[in-house]
Amino acid sequence: MGRRRVDPRRRAGRHSERMPVITVKDLRKRYGGQVAVDGVSFTVEEGEIFGILGPNGAGKTTTVECVAGLRTPDSGSVDVLGLDPGKDRDALRLVLGMQLQESRLPEKQTVAEALRLYASFYPDPADWAGLLADLGLYGKRDVRFGRLSGGQKQRVSIALALVGNPKVAVLDELTTGLDPQARRDTWELIEEVRARGVTIVLVTHSMAEAERLCDRVALIDAGRVVAVDTPAGLVSRVDAEQRMRFRPASPLDDVLLTALPEVTSVTRRGAQVVVSGTGDLVHAVTSVLARNQIIAAELRVEQASLDDAFVALTGRRLEPTTEEE
């Protein structure tokens, strides 16, 4: 009797019960004399949105291309659902979908033609028409790719990454170049994709995107992993001081605020009062203002952000650019 062929998706599923969906260990890759990835290690758990966050040129795209089997690392190891991307490329293609940073379809190809073509590559594809409906694209199925808006093109990219019914989707700089509304719409789509049971690796240089979407984040700078944690965990590593800014609607004696144990400093900027402190600062300040019948107009509360964490951990601010990695 011939050896029974094991469906790689079933094999992957058994492995995923005992180990992370993705394990990257000491990954290294250089191009000539330039080091792109220098000892990157992380794991991705089933069902999470895992962010790879860093400036352009940090090695993010090279890292995920090694994960997807599109590049061969110089050293280190990658395991995706029990598969080696270098040796098991055909099997990996059935469980991992990828949206590349620079993915382009022929301008004259319609959305339906692209989805039908990509679906033909898989033995058990998703219902591409239903997928388009889920992504709000069914009405655009006969529209040529070149006539779509930027946000619609990104939705097509997501559809192409999902048409093979993958267990893992890698989305690389998905919202670059989109206007604010299209970006928010795309974020909602990513959350919906995760709700479909797909584990997502999200490559981004957007702090807001990582804070909004990611369960955990790997901060990468100059080809190295600086830290891996939840966004809140990363933020907690920096100064926990909070700041409140407001304009008192009636005269305010600073002593009322400096006497509070939660307050570390009170400064004035014109008509605006800036209060810094720790603990339950907001409650303490608003309570004393209410007792003294002082209204805090234009009140804003500022706390440490993921951007602050990146600065604290790397010594420099992440400045988004339009350069490609």
Q: What is the DSSP letter of 298?
A: E
Q: How far is CA 149 from CA 33, 112, 236, in A?
A: 39, 16, 39
In this model, does residue 1 exceed pLDDT 80? Answer: no
**Cα of 113 vs its chain's centroid, Å:** 29
Question: Residue ranges per domain, the chain?
Answer: 20-236, 241-302
pLDDT digits (tens, 9 = 90+) for 286-296: 999 999 999 99
323, exposed or middle or buried, with CB in 10 Å at 0-12, 13-18, 19+? exposed
| Range with the poorest average pLDDT among 35-39, 131-135, 240-244 | 240-244
Q: What is the pLDDT of residue 313?
A: 83
Question: What's 241-302's CATH class?
Answer: alpha beta
Q: What is the pLDDT of residue 38?
A: 95
In this model, does residue 86 exceed pLDDT 80? Answer: yes
pLDDT digits (tens, 9 = 90+) for 27-74: 999 999 899 999 999 999 999 999 999 888 889 999 999 999 999 999
Sign of the torsion formed by the C-alpha atoms of 138, 187, 12 and 98: positive
Alpha carbon distance 316, 18 (integer Å) = 38
- Amino acid present at 171: L
Share of the chain above pLDDT 70, in %: 90
In three-state secondary structure terms, 245 is strand
| Range with the poorest average pLDDT among 104-113, 215-224, 314-323 | 314-323
In this model, does residue 9 exceed pLDDT 80? Answer: no
Q: What is the pLDDT of residue 33?
A: 87
* The CATH fold of domain 20-236: Rossmann fold (3.40.50)
Alpha carbon distance 183, 176 (integer Å) = 8
282 phi/psi in degrees, rounded to 5? -60, -45
Of 284, 230, 296, 238, the residue nearest 259 (C-alpha):
284
CA angle 227, 171, 116 (to 5 degrees): 165
DSSP bridge pairs for 244 = 275, 301
Higher pLDDT, 104 or 183: 183
- The mean of the pLDDT values for the chain is 86
